[in-house]
Structures are given as C-alpha cells and as structure tokens.
Structure 1
C-alpha cells in the first residue's frame, strides 16, 4: 500500500489546501467548530462553497462564528446547531434533525488531559467525548453519509495516542489510578481505530474515514494546562490555527484522498507506522491501525452505548 504524499506540509494552511476546490452543492458538519481549528476548518470548507453546519455545545458562540464565517466568505449557507457529545439524547436529536445527504463529517471536537470526570452513564469523560460521542454521531448519520455517495469522515486524533493503547479491561479507570494523559491517549487511539473500522464496514456505501494529527496549536483545548499548553513542544513546532486545520481540510477536500480510507496523517501527509513512541509529533502506533483492534473497539463501543 503506497503512502499518500501531497504538495503540502507542516507550514501549509487550511486556506492554501482548499484553494481552487469547489464544493458547491456539498454539505459538511464540523463538530467543535465554535473556536480553534474547528472554526478554521469550517471557514475553509465554507470558502469552497460547501454548506457547513457547526455542531457545537455553546449555540450562542456557534451562531456568532457561523455569522462571521458567512460574512468573511460570502457563503450564507453556514449555520450552527447544538450538539453535546457526552449526552446520547443530544447526539440522537442532532442526527434526527438532519435531512438529506451528508458529504463531509469532521469529528473535530475534543477535550485534553482534563481532571477526572464521568458521564451520567459512568463513562470516563475523555473517552466519552473524543470517541464514544463521535462514534454514536457517525452511526446515527450513516444513512445521510451513504446517501451522499463518496462521503468522507475526518477524525481529529493526536500523536498523544502513542501514550496509551485502548486498555480493554479498564476503559473507565475503575481499577487504575486516573491519569489525564493516559486517558487522553486511549481516547485518541480509539479515534484512529474508528477510522480504520468505519472504512472497512462502510466501504460498500462509498464512505471512507481517515484520522489525523493536526499538530501542536494553542487553542481552548489546552485550557486544563495553562495558557501555553503542556510545555512539552518546542516553540518552533507550534502551528498557527490555520496551519493546524490544514490536514483536516486536506482529508475533507483533496482529490488525492478520493476513495482512500483507514489511514492516519500528519502535516498533510500519511504517517509512518511505528512500534515505539517516537518522541516526535509524527508517526502512528501499530496498535492504532490494527484492524483486529478496530473490530474489537467497534463491538465494545456498541455495547457501551447500549448500556
């Protein structure tokens, strides 16, 4: 399998990646699009002519950003809708309210290294937000994705996935001491595995899914770590928001990704598979792209959502 290589790289921006692409008539959903790279992803998609829905927790903030994007791009087909990923009823309501095909779903929303917290269903907060809510959303929108013909699901993961595989026997830290970074890593591994298995399961429907590492960007995602994030990344490796959204937009729009799924990208190119932590912001752990793990996670996720 040949790795995907593109003309873009670390410094490329979402605007540059989307330049010249016309998505008029296409429809996209971006979760967590009221700020950060989610808002920038939505802006770049709107600039291509796509109809864009910002799926957000804070509807007031989302509507403000939607209006700003509409004004900046001249695209008035930008709106906001409420979505709380940790609330199964909210996910179901969002999906029930969707009418017609969906060409692009960007699973962008997430939390990072937050204090120990659990949902009403007893699920660990990061796993519930970053993976399980998006898993439920994509499945609920499966019919709309299939109706689009050639739909793409873009899953924002992280190099943080190298910090932990999915710990099958203790997803919710019932027996382990809670560690915010291990919980984050586990959830980000789940993001990659979802892309692998969704592509396998939904190939006959023309649906592909790919995961990505956006890079290190200072956004609201780092709110639990102070103003300058974890402090683990050298300043020269920090991206702007526009650069951070570039890989998401590439996976959502590029003709080079037509029919390509189940892969992991960083800096706008497919990553190498690694067997040890790299200490860098590149590389995807072998366990995160293992198809057996993908099938196991899918089955587990269905059981967890069933209660």
Structure 2
C-alpha cells in the first residue's frame, strides 16, 4: 500500500464522463474498451471518442458492438471507431485479438465482466468469473504490453468493484475445486484480482511509462446484473441498509474510468484504487466503501501475477 497522500480531484460521485474529459484532446490517441457495447463501457468509449480518440470496442457480440459504434459516431461526430471480437474466457479469442493489433495503444480500459454467475467453468476447468474478469484481461494486457510501451505515457484502467471487499484472492482454492461455490465470493475474489493486477503491473511497467490503476465505478443498473434476480438485489439493498450506495447513471459510472484514462491530474500515478473520481480510503472487509488492505498488498500482487502466468501457460 502506498504511504503517500491520497489523490483528490475536483470531481465527485455526481460527475459524468463528459464532465471529466471536458477540455481534453485525444486526437491521434488509440484506445481499447473491453465490454464497450453496453453500460458504462459504452459511455467510457463515447467520452474517449468525443475527445478525438480512435476507439476499438472489444466485445463478444460484434453486432451489438457495431450498433454501439454507429451510435457513438452519430453522437460525437467521430466515426473512426472500430469493433473487434473478444471473448475474455476464451484463450483463442484473446490470442486472435492480439494477433490483429498493430501499432501503439494509448489507453486500455479493462471494463468487461461477469457478476455473480451460476457455477460455470471454462474448458480448462477455471471458474468463469475469475477466468473472465481477471485471467482474460491479464492475458490481453500483457499481450498488449509492447503496444502500450510504444505509445509513451499509456494508461491502463482496471475496472474493479466494492465487491472486492467480500473476498481476497484465495490462492489455495481460486477455482472453487475444494470449497463450496459462492457466486458473490467468486465475484469478490475476481475484483480483488483486478486491483492486485494494477498494483503489480504498475510496479513492473512504470519504467515503460505505463500507468495502471483500478477503480470502483459505483452502483449502476446495467447488463452486468443479468445473473442477479430482483429478489437478490432487494436482499443486497436490505443488507447494506444505510450504506447502500445511491444509483448512478451510466455516464456517472463511467466518470472514474475516464478520469484514470485521461486526466493530467493522474500523471505518473499508478497502483492505486479509486472510487467516485478520488482515491479511496482504506476499507474493512465487509464494508461498502474503501479499498481492502489485502487488495493493495505487494506480495499478493506479485504472487497473483506469477500464478496467472503459470495458469495461462498450461
């Protein structure tokens, strides 16, 4: 965990992606947003495109991606958007995306994810949420390292969640082969992995000029909740009580991602976790806000990197 003062900005939970990026010129920059065809991914991509970036929507459903790209082009006047197929739970799909990428990459927003899904395993036997939310993004980002380094001052944004406070990475049984499967623990573990990835990637890559940070976007009704019934959502709201966060619009939910991807206020900043457009304070396990100390633990971050490399090499 960093001992330096937390980063604060003029922006808040109510700020939108459009407000955060106002006045920033991304002409000539290239960006990739995973899961960019819906929810906060779309609004993240729209903000980047509105500032002039060439944005690639990396999505499973390319038809939805094309429709989103057309909508973004119509609303921003920037028609240089691209759509590329990417299934993060499929190693061949990630490899195919990487093989097609050419040239520098200035911004990578690892936004796609799956939340609280029924117990599902990839063909390799990996638990789906960890495979999608962490391993797929790990393989993608490491595979794009050369392109990010070539950009000079690249930004990588790792979209995590306050759900990381539900579970550390349980290295002894990451894929729930021994313990009973719990969809929220699995989700929380994968979101902790998103933060630990930012910690270790920053340590390894800051000399390449690549800044990597993680964030909690907020509570936003999107397709991410497709595996969670209304009854379960009501239970979670009741469980949170007065700590239940106010719902954000997709534009507000995208604000912190866009801040980390573009703001000069974060020049040279990495390995940190943000919420509501500011660096988060420490949070205790089971809380609704803040960052768990275990999510910023350098030893755990290094161990996760090594485990990820080993897992993907089999």
TM range (shorter): over 0.9
2:23 paired residue number: 20
Whether the aligned pair in 1 keeps the contact of 2:284 and 2:290 (CA below 8 Å) is: no
2:54 & 2:188 partners in 1: Cα distance?
A: 33
2:144 paired residue number: 141
**1:71 corresponds to 2:80:** no
Deviations along 1:35-62, one digit per CA (max 9) or x if unpaired, are: 0000110000000001100000000000
The SS at the match of 2:74 is: helix
The SS at the match of 1:250 is: helix
1:162 paired residue number: 165
**1:237 corresponds to 2:246:** yes
2:81 & 2:53 partners in 1: Cα distance?
A: 9
The SS at the match of 1:41 is: helix
**1:207 corresponds to 2:216:** no
TM superposition shift of 1:76: 1.2
The SS at the match of 1:169 is: helix
Aligned length: 305
1:253 paired residue number: 262
The 1:198–1:276 alpha-carbon spacing in structure 2 relative to 1, beyond 3 Å, is same
The SS at the match of 2:102 is: coil
Whether the aligned pair in 2 keeps the contact of 1:277 and 1:285 (CA below 8 Å) is: no
Deviations along 1:257-279, one digit per CA (max 9) or x if unpaired, are: 1111000000000001234432x
TM superposition shift of 1:227: 5.2
Describe how 1:86-235 pairs up with structure 2 within 5 A: 86-226=89-229, 230-231=233-234, 232-233=236-237
Q: TM-score, normalised by structure 2?
A: 0.95
1:12 & 1:227 partners in 2: Cα distance?
A: 27
The SS at the match of 2:158 is: strand
**1:268 corresponds to 2:277:** yes
Structure holding more helix per residue:
2
2:253 & 2:285 partners in 1: Cα distance?
A: 25
State the superposition RMSD in angstroms.
1.2
2:83 & 2:283 partners in 1: Cα distance?
A: 39
2:207 & 2:246 partners in 1: Cα distance?
A: 39
**1:292 corresponds to 2:299:** yes
The 1:101–1:228 alpha-carbon spacing in structure 2 relative to 1, beyond 3 Å, is farther
Whether the aligned pair in 2 keeps the contact of 1:26 and 1:102 (CA below 8 Å) is: yes
TM superposition shift of 1:79: 1.3
Whether the aligned pair in 1 keeps the contact of 2:166 and 2:285 (CA below 8 Å) is: no
2:286 & 2:163 partners in 1: Cα distance?
A: 10
2:64 paired residue number: 61
Whether the aligned pair in 1 keeps the contact of 2:43 and 2:251 (CA below 8 Å) is: yes
1:306 paired residue number: 313
Q: TM-score, normalised by structure 1?
A: 0.97
TM superposition shift of 1:2: 1.6
2:33 paired residue number: 30
2:245 & 2:188 partners in 1: Cα distance?
A: 23
Whether the aligned pair in 2 keeps the contact of 1:112 and 1:224 (CA below 8 Å) is: yes
Describe how 1:80-91 pairs up with structure 2 within 5 A: 80-91=83-94
Whether the aligned pair in 1 keeps the contact of 2:13 and 2:252 (CA below 8 Å) is: yes
